[in-house]
Amino acid sequence: MNPGLLIELTTGYWRFKAMAAAVDIGLFAAVDRRGAATSAELAADLGLQPRPLRVLLSSCTALGFLTKDGDRYQNAPVAAEYLVPGKEQYFGGFVRYNDMVGYPAWGRLQEALRTNAPTTSHASFMTSDPVVLDNFWDALFAISSFTAMALADAYDFGRHQNLLDLGGGMGPFPVVLCERYPDLRATVYDLPHVAEKARAKATDRISVHAGDFLADEEFPAGHDVILLSMILHDWDEQTSREILGKCYAALPSGGAIIICELVLDDDETGPQLAALMGLNMLVETGGGQNWTGAEYREWLTGAGFRDITTIPMLSAGANAAIVAYK
């Protein structure tokens, strides 16, 4: 036995910080503008001295973000598609948000474990810091778009007419689902400052409703399916039960609720990403964690829902869609 796995885990942050630094200084954007560039050209574009640029280029090439032909660098497909600003699937907001907020918060994980309190100075979705806010919603839109594609494959929304996306952010699920299902209409329901951003995605089939699903006594009516994607992991059990109770009240008879999450196994031994997301909720929220399928089923039953099924999914943002009916 050798400590290879331990070494890989211990130095894992090297890989993340190399990628985050390259995104932050605009390396992939600079390479994209030139198509292919020498280190001297990139040094002039980025204002970096030869030594730091050399080690960054070497690292990004070794990690698979760049390719090198002679003395010229090009973006590898993963960087060209996901790490160049302006591209449709730009993932830089997710990288930058985690670099600005998630990484420092995880650096104080032991404090969170000892105090049962978050280590960030704000709730990410409530912050007034425009830079953090923009990166947070860009991050969520990017990762949720892929989850929405997986959900569109896993569940037939053709049986529904009107979707309410609870805490829907900038609307990635309505955008994807309405494109896939031409007869579906959708409403994004989120806080006023988030709703303002979501209006950029509004169409004749996608509307926006500003509100607070914690404070509002009733949810917008007229929808036959309610989606909660990566919502309940933000809150404690009592708050989650209250949210589900409001969902039940807002749905017509036969209406559906869909919980889209990284769901823990009932014995709480995995999957790995769901378990680690629970630690992320510890450092970022006051009461959130990732819950088991059994817990979701119990809460849904307690709220009055029936015919509960779990549909496996393959996505970074969710491994299951739990569906129930009124």
Q: Point out the residues that are catalytic.
A: 233
Gap between the Cα atoms of 310 and 312, Å rounded:
6
User: CA of 22: how far to CAs of 97, 134, 229, 314, in Å?
Assistant: 14, 19, 30, 28
Closest CA to 320 of 133, 182, 155, 111: 155
Gap between the Cα atoms of 136 and 145, Å rounded:
14
Closest CA to 100 of 20, 165, 193: 20
Closest CA to 105 of 119, 115, 117, 122: 119
Gap between the Cα atoms of 90 and 69, Å rounded:
25
Q: Token digits for 322?
A: 């739990």
Gap between the Cα atoms of 248 and 150, Å rounded:
25
Q: Is residue 55 packed enough to be buried (19+ CB in 10 Å), middle (13-18) or exposed (0-12)?
A: exposed
